[in-house]
Amino acid sequence: QVQLVESGGGLVQAGGSLRLSCAASGRTSRSYAMGWFRQAPGEEREFVAAITRNGYSTYYADSVKGRFTISRDGTKNTIYLQMNSLKPEDTAVYYCNADDSMFTVRSGKGGSWGQGIQVTVSS
């Protein structure tokens, strides 16, 4: 199991940008599939984006396609979420997750999770 720590959240105006980071520690001798989820108040946690172990493939929710970009630092277990053209509906706590299985990462059912970081977009 790995420990994940998110950083880079905050308050931004609509149309602005933020970059989230997630760094893994612990069992990091191998790379993991990693991803981002978010949870708005009163809503269920939802998938945002994911990236394969080698960084060659990425996946996005329809709601963020063309605005958000997930990337990783080579095969290291540090990932980023560049969020552009932010909207008030992007306001949520953003969580990073990691697992050996991309299926597990994208489903959000299992794996390791960070504590989450707040992103607030004002109108």
Residue 36: other Cβ atoms inside 10 A? 27
| pLDDT at residue 75 greater than cutoff 80 | no
Cα–Cα distance measured from residue 33 to residue 111, given in angstroms and rounded to the nearest whole number = 10
Nearest by Cα to 118 from 11, 43, 5: 11
Model confidence pLDDT, tens digit, residues 52-74: 999 999 999 999 999 999 999 97
| pLDDT the model gives residue 39 | 98
Name the amino acid, one letter, at 7: S
| pLDDT the model gives residue 76 | 80
